[in-house]
Amino acid sequence: MPSITRGGRGGLFSTHRGALLWLRRCQSPLLSTLAGGGGRSDAPHLPVLIVGAGPVGLVLSFLLTKFGIKCAVIEKNVEFTRHPRAHFINNRTMEIFRKLDGLARDIERSQPPVDLWRKFVYCTSLSGSVLGSVDHMKQEDFDKVISPVSVAHFSQYKLVDLLLKKLEGIGFQTCFPSEIGNSTQDLVLESKILMGHKCTSLDQTDEGILVGASVNNGGMIIERKLHCGLLIGTDGARSTVRELAGISMEGERDLQKLVSVHFLSRDLGRYLSSQRPGMLFFIFNPGAIGVLVAHDLENGEFVLQVPFYPPQQMFEDFSAKVCEQIIFKLVGWEPADVHVLDIKPWAMHAEVAEKYICCNNRVILSGDAAHRFPPAGGFGMNTGVQDVHNLAWKLGLLLNGVASPSILQTYESERRPVAIFNTELSVENFKAAMSIPTTLGLDPTVANSVHQVINRSLGSIIPRNVQKAVLEGLFSLGRAQVSDYILNEKNPIGSLRLARLRSILDEGKSLQLQFPAEDLGFHYAEGALVVEASCEKTHEGEKLQHSKRASREYIPSAKVGSRLPHMLVREVPASSEGAFSTLDLVSGDKLEFVLIIAPVKESYEIARATLKIADELTLSARVCVMWPRGSTDAEVEESRSELTPWTNYIDVEEVPRVSGGSWWEMCRISRKSVLLVRPDEHIAWLTELDRVRDAESEIRRVFSHVLCLNSHRV
């Protein structure tokens, strides 16, 4: 991103003023039509229209509404799916959910007890021999050392239910086709989730995007036109928005094809709860192979994932009866209450969209529409939620006339590299998961090779049913490797394989549940942030070290682009609030930057400049003065005298930690540092006091860069 190179206060100020006037006069065709009006007379208009009412789209609609941005959501399905799908919510996403009117707290109250899902279990059947298990929770997770909130295990449809309640609480309404009627002109879009609206066309107009939607109203197909300034595609892995926008995906396709079987069995749930509780069960026996996801042991809700190999094995072959038989083979006995609810096929991909933004910055992709990962590691939904958390504050500042339209490009420059990294990590995790069956003599690459040989040699010669018999016969021979005859300590081959499996599990080389280094430790290398020249080499070194994934341990850091490290602090003089996280210094209800300083004279000067320039920009900013623990009320009075007449500041002191060390030491910076935190809790700027010659000029430069006021590109 280009930066302002003209020195001196006058040059910076004139650049800022020119950009601000340019914004306020709405000379940009993008900005002038986003806030309202400018729409086509025959279609209702909104600044933002979101396509897709999954967790990602609903989180974005909540955030935008909180920030005062008018938006609506359209969803192609007439009702919300009850298929559990995603279920693991990582630390960073839970931190975001803390500020969605207590959503994280609601999840923690509603999820199954941690002891029922903290393990992955490897076994020959759910009632047979346990080959090994891995406990993925550590004491620091419960002590909340690196984050104010723990990870969670909560089915996607339940998360959607909670999000809908939160949206209803801020004025959103879910509307079904029969409730809307056939008229378009009288349709009020704002704060609506329009169910049964399938996006069918996108047309760029001078004022925005004209969206065509097909609505099935009781068998009558209605074509409806909606107009928006910005269209956000959060419509999943098979995104219609992405397809209509002509954006291609880059990466690997069809890593594996699977059948997902959603079923209930309280008998099985009770048995596993008492005998071998876990989240994932990797099951290998001569009769069947599969992965069972225990979404809720207490209520007996499961999803079974079974690989299949078309065209010899087709999705249609997996009837409810066939799926029941597979379940029985994997369980080891026949629970009488197994009830198959839903069967879905899906393909595993590792792809990222070639770009996230198109159509003159008016069409934007988020979530699975922008990236498709293998499920290993649970990065899919989590990355999507973090996408829109990054996007929402930028949309808010743009639509409020504070930021330049160019700020939208920083969404792609920040989030796309994260998606690429998470794609690679998910593939690595998938390979780690496959190391277990390989060790047991069930090498998946051999199965794929057998499948390819049959396709090439027999595909055009013999009927499909004969091919299927050949394939399944060969697979049956392969599964004999995990028979009791081979897989036991008395068999030399079986004993060696079991020893290797235990070694993989003990060394943490199998599939892992938590990735704190990647979850909390990722950072943006470029975008809506200012990296000082002196930090470039350090930044590159850290990025290289991170890419090697040598350690899964999260190391707190205040490097620019990273998430603000968590530490407990309390307000001084003491208030009734008690201890709270440094992440809570950033508001969840408004768009506000936070400057964190130590009580040093030069830092107060930068703080005054920050509040002054923010006021000129009509931008909300707050100063946090970080005092060492044990500071007296009299000492803290210094902030009042130094920051008068400004009142938007808070004095806090560090809460003692078991590991010791101050806030500044934890962040690996000195008390002579100041750091600016964005509304998404990522660090926008870090500098040392001796680098600042003119505080006001420097703060103007920083805000101009972060808000992209120095770039008028649309």
The Cα–Cα gap between 330 and 324 comes to: 10
What are the tens digits of pLDDT across the range 564-591?
999 999 999 877 778 999 999 999 999 9
Q: Which tokens is 55 given?
A: 């967790």
Residue 15 has pLDDT above 70, yes or no: no
Q: What is the CA radius of gyration of the chain?
A: 27
What are the tens digits of pLDDT across the range 149-165?
999 999 999 999 999 99
**Residues paired with residue 45 on neighbouring β-strands, in sequence order:** 227
Q: Given 3-state DSSP classes, what are the helix, strand and coil percentages for the chain, each rounded to the nearest 5?
A: 40, 25, 35
Q: What are the Cα distances from residue 123, in Å, to 194, 291, 498?
A: 45, 10, 11
The Cα–Cα gap between 231 and 49 comes to: 5
Q: What are the residue ranges of CATH 3.40.30.120 in the chain?
A: 523-539+552-707
Q: What are the residue ranges of CATH 3.50.50.60 in the chain?
A: 29-37+44-82+156-250+350-425
Is residue 694 within 8 A of residue 9, CB to CB? The reply is yes
The Cα–Cα gap between 453 and 593 comes to: 59
| pLDDT band at residue 181 under the 50/70/90 scheme | low
What are the tens digits of pLDDT across the range 43-67?
788 999 999 999 999 999 999 999 9
614 phi, psi to nearest 5 deg: -60, -40
pLDDT for position 41: 55
Residue 641 CB: number of other CB atoms within 10 A? 8
pLDDT for position 43: 79
Which string of b and e fits 374-395 if b means at least 16 CB within 10 Å?
bbbbbbbbbbbbbbbbbbbbbb
Is residue 332 within 8 A of residue 268, CB to CB? The reply is no
Alpha helix segments (H runs only) across 333-459: 379-399, 407-439, 444-458
pLDDT for position 550: 44
Strand-pair category, 339-353 with 371-372:
antiparallel
Q: What percent of the chain has pLDDT over 70?
A: 90
Single-letter amino acid, residue 489: E
The Cα–Cα gap between 608 and 696 comes to: 9
Architecture field, domain 523-539+552-707: 3-Layer(aba) Sandwich (3.40)
Q: Which residues are within 8 A (CB) of 545 and not within 5 positions of it... i.e. 6 or more apart?
A: none
Nearest CA among 430, 437, 428, 445 for reference residue 500: 437
Nearest CA among 225, 232, 236, 234 for reference residue 203: 225
Residue 19 has pLDDT above 60, yes or no: no
What are the tens digits of pLDDT across the range 224-274?
999 999 999 999 999 999 999 999 999 999 999 999 999 999 999 999 999
510 phi, psi to nearest 5 deg: -90, -175
Nearest CA among 282, 627, 277, 313 for reference residue 439: 282
Mean pLDDT of 157-184: 89
The Cα–Cα gap between 676 and 673 comes to: 10
What CATH number was assigned to the domain covering residues 29-37+44-82+156-250+350-425? 3.50.50.60
- Report pTM: 0.91
Q: Which residue has the higher pLDDT, 473 or 127?
A: 127
The Cα–Cα gap between 578 and 581 comes to: 10
The sign of the torsion formed by the CA atoms of 91, 95, 97, 102 equals: positive
* CA triple 60-65-71, angle to 5 deg: 75
What are the tens digits of pLDDT across the range 335-346?
999 999 999 999
Q: Is the peptide bond before 645 cis (omega within 30 degrees of 0)?
A: yes
DSSP string, 81-108: -------EE-HHHHHHHHTTTTHHHHHH
Q: Which tokens is 701 given?
A: 């430069």
The Cα–Cα gap between 178 and 172 comes to: 18
DSSP 206: S
Is it true that domain 251-348+434-507 has CATH number 3.30.9? yes
Q: What are the residue ranges of CATH 3.30.9 in the chain?
A: 251-348+434-507
Tell me how far the alpha carbon of residue 323 is from its chain's centroid.
32
The Cα–Cα gap between 32 and 398 comes to: 11
Is residue 45 within 8 A of residue 228, CB to CB? The reply is yes
